[in-house]
Amino acid sequence: MAVPVCPGCGHSASQPDARFCSRCGHSLISHKPARNVCGSTNLEGNHSPPESALICRARCSRSKQPFAIKFEQLDRGIWFARSAWSVDEKRISTQVFSSGGVRGHFKKHKDYPGCPYCGNPLWRKCFECNEGFGCLEYGSPLYTCPWCEASSVPKWGRHSSRAIQVPGAKD
């Protein structure tokens, strides 16, 4: 199987079954595999292909360095954070990360590695600027958005039942 080349930046994917460019986040859906290659696990623990995938931009709340988070929509329409990787400032500012997006419920998958810079396992969306996500340390008394510096108090142990709108590249 041939390794796909990103039509957005020309980067060659590291795996023949890649669905998104690891450098710019551009969708490689024309090379969409017909079999389950992602190893996704649904809520019952069974392996199943994701219904859809979404790449969102994020920043480390400590270092302000940019990174990308890949969410997979598994059964029941919930978006699960599955992976995260560092990207450079030029890539995170492209239209790919700000066009489109979805409205839905977002959770952390048990295999999510956390922020690639500080290792924080959680993230939060800023409702002031709507630029993207920022990593979040569990139990922190205050969240400061790494995009706009707005501060808010996390509501630990309370999960919102409302869906949120998130910008990003969706396949």
Same-domain check for residues 87 and 16: no
Task: Give yes or no: residues 95 and 164 share one domain.
Answer: yes
Residues 6 and 90 in one domain: no
Do 9 and 73 belong to one domain?
Answer: no
Domain-located, residue 38 = no
Shared domain check, 28 and 56? no
Same domain, 69 and 133: yes
CA distance to 31, 59, 84, 149, per residue, from 19 (Å)? 7, 22, 14, 33
Answer whether residue 39 is part of any domain. no
Distance CA 18, CA 31 (A): 8
Q: Are residues 55 and 21 in the same domain?
A: no
Whether 43 is in a domain gets the answer no
List the domain range (segments joined by +) for residue 166: 50-170
d(CA 99, CA 41): 28
pTM comes to: 0.67
What pLDDT tens digit does each residue of the chain (171 aa) get?
677 787 766 777 766 777 666 665 666 765 333 333 334 444 444 456 677 888 889 999 999 999 999 988 886 778 899 999 999 988 888 877 766 677 888 888 999 999 999 999 888 888 788 888 899 887 888 889 999 999 988 776 555 555 666 666 565
Residue 58 lies in a domain: yes
Q: Is 115 exposed, middle or buried (0-12, 13-18, 19+ CB in 10 A)?
A: buried
- Other C-beta atoms closer than 10 Å to the C-beta of 89 total 10
